Amino acid sequence: MIVASTSRPKRRFGFSKVRPGTPGELPLQFRTRRFGMRAWQVTGFALGALILSVILSSSAYELVRNLALRSEQSADLRQAYVSASLVNAGLRTSTPNIVEILSGLEVPSGSTPFLFYDSKWYSTSLQAGRNVIPVDLRHIVSNKSPAFQRFILNSKVSMAVGIPLVASHSYYYEIFSFSDLERTLRLLTYSLALASALTTLAGAAMGLWTSRRLLAPLEEIANAASEIAKGDFETHLVTNDSDLLALASSFNSMVDALKNKIAQDARFASDVSHELRSPLTTIQNSLEIINHRKDEMTPRTRQAFEFLVDEIARFDRLVQDLLEIASSDSTSTNLVMEDLGTFELLENCFRSNRSSGFILDISAQLSGTRIYADKRRFERIIDNLVENASKYAGGLERVRALRVGDSLRLQFEDRGPGIPDHDKVRIFDRFARGSGRDRRMLGRGTGLGLSIVQEHVRTHRGRIWVEDRNEGGSIFVVELPLQVGQDVLWETTFETGASVDEVS
């Protein structure tokens, strides 16, 4: 029983071994996470930067606030003592004028002096009465001890200082406002908050940059893997980063091992086919001799003989196809890629198929274009598709050669039974035969033709697929890259606009 796991998979990237024939043991596929590696990295860096900057900002704020408070406090205390001594001196005159004494004090802006003298309260401020002085402070000072207290006055931090003037039996109070300090601290808070936000953004940018740098090799590996999947085994990873050397070298060893394995398989198929060729030729020669005496055979023997000839011909075709497959990979030594004129190449290749009676329609847009191709393989692609059309679809109706972007597109259009959707991809596999309506030829072919064509198309870095034709039948489409951005050496003999060349 398979139980769906609700726990999150621990490893987000790793390798697993898929053993053939044990579907029950296939590892659970990782669910793709919405939050990818890059997003994690960016968020992690941003969060880290935010936490760090908040810690640094709050400690810096606390430090500055304490220092500023302490220096403001000692300055205010000094100021209060200076004022108190001036008041004390003023009171010791024979006829002290208290209002004059208090208004003569040079107090800083925002501070208010109070005097308790002869059981009366005096102040220079009309707004603030003695009630603003905290009761506790008044109590301490009335016991002849100087004191100060910080408190909130009108939602602002203020400090009250009380100094007993013993000689004049009075008490001097002064209230200082910390609003300047508060304004400075508010500014500091805004600056630190801005700095934290900028640091967080810088952290996120750093995360993005490092994730790009970290993921770049992975993207390179993915690109290399997809090139290899397309059949280009010359693809290797190169690096000058000592940390990535091990990864690059194991990747390259894997590619080499894969290439060797494929070459070995191809060699084996080629050897087997070669070994089969000589007995096959002997059998074919013998059959040829027997064929001369066909008239002397009884009808049953003749029928058996014809059946044998058919099967040997099919066997011969199979051996030829296997040899072709063995040499079809791009690493093969018999691959001869040449810079060729597209018109010239198409003309030459279709010349041998002129008897097939289809319309060859070459677009004028291809004039002057060039293609990098192996003539023999290119011809094999065309011959095979033409031959398939006559085998399975009663012949081709039209072949179009067009320029689509920087590619040559060849469309082989027939009026045959068409290819069912479920066969459209499968027929390009080795030994795959169609399951279409026209079953006359079914079982006659080797099922290797289209896979050879696909290999040749891949060798040319192109694509092949099959489409339904609106009027019935199918269209085999081959797309091969043209040589672009190169000096055109070959001049077309076709006039511009003369795009239709009818072959009969």
Q: Toward ligand ADP, which CB reaches closer, 204 or 419?
A: 419
Structure tokens belonging to residue 414: 């027939």
What's the burial of 375, exposed, middle or buried (CB within 10 Å: 0-12/13-18/19+)?
Answer: middle
* Side chain identity at residue 491, one-letter code: E
Q: In angstroms, what is the minimal distance from the CB of 479 to ligand ADP? A: 18
Beta carbon nearer to ligand ADP, 80 or 326: 326
Residue with tokens 């016991």: 143
Residues 6+ apart with CB under 8 A from 38: 208, 211, 212, 215
Rounded to the nearest whole angstrom, what is the least distance from the CB of residue 418 to ligand ADP in the complex?
7
Residue placing its CB nearer to ligand ADP in the complex, 299 or 443: 443
Between CA 428 and CA 166 the distance in angstroms is 113
In angstroms, the Cα distances linking 184 to 176, 180, 247, 274 are 16, 6, 56, 94
Min CB(453)–ligand ADP separation in Å: 7
CB of 309 to ligand ADP, least distance (A): 18
What separation in angstroms does the CA of 223 have from each of 154, 217, 253, 457?
Answer: 69, 10, 17, 20
Which amino acid does the sequence have at 394?
G
Which H or E element spans position 362?
A: strand 359-362
Rg over CA atoms, the chain: 48
Pairwise CA distance, residues 425 & 427, whole Å: 6
State which residue has the least CB distance to ligand ADP: 445
The full DSSP string for 224-286 is HHHHHHTT-TT-------TTTHHHHHHHHHHHHHHHHHHHHHHHHHHHHHHHHHHHHHHHHHH
Task: Please compute, for residue 349, the number of CA atoms within 13 A of its CA located in the half-sphere on the CB side.
Answer: 26
Pick between residue 53 and residue 474 the one whose CB is nearest to ligand ADP.
474
> Cβ 325 to ligand ADP, closest distance in Å?
11
Strand-pair partners of 174: 113, 161
Q: Which residues bind ligand ADP (CB under 6 A)?
A: 388-389, 391-393, 414, 416-417, 419, 427, 432-434, 436, 445-451, 474
Q: Which is nearer to ligand ADP, 332 or 390 (CB)?
A: 390
Q: How far is the CB of 449 from ligand ADP (least distance, A)?
A: 3
Nearer to ligand ADP, 116 or 358 (CB): 358
Q: Least Å distance between CB 288 and ligand ADP?
A: 24
| Nearest distance, CB of residue 339 and ligand ADP, angstroms | 29
Amino acid identity for residue 172 in this structure: Y
Of the pair 113, 416, the CB lying nearest ligand ADP is at 416
**By C-beta, is 379 or 414 nearer to ligand ADP?**
414
Please say whether the beta carbons of 415 and 473 come within 8 A.
yes
Q: Min. distance of Cβ 478 from ligand ADP in angstroms?
A: 13
Of 370 and 433, which CB lies nearer to ligand ADP in the complex structure? 433
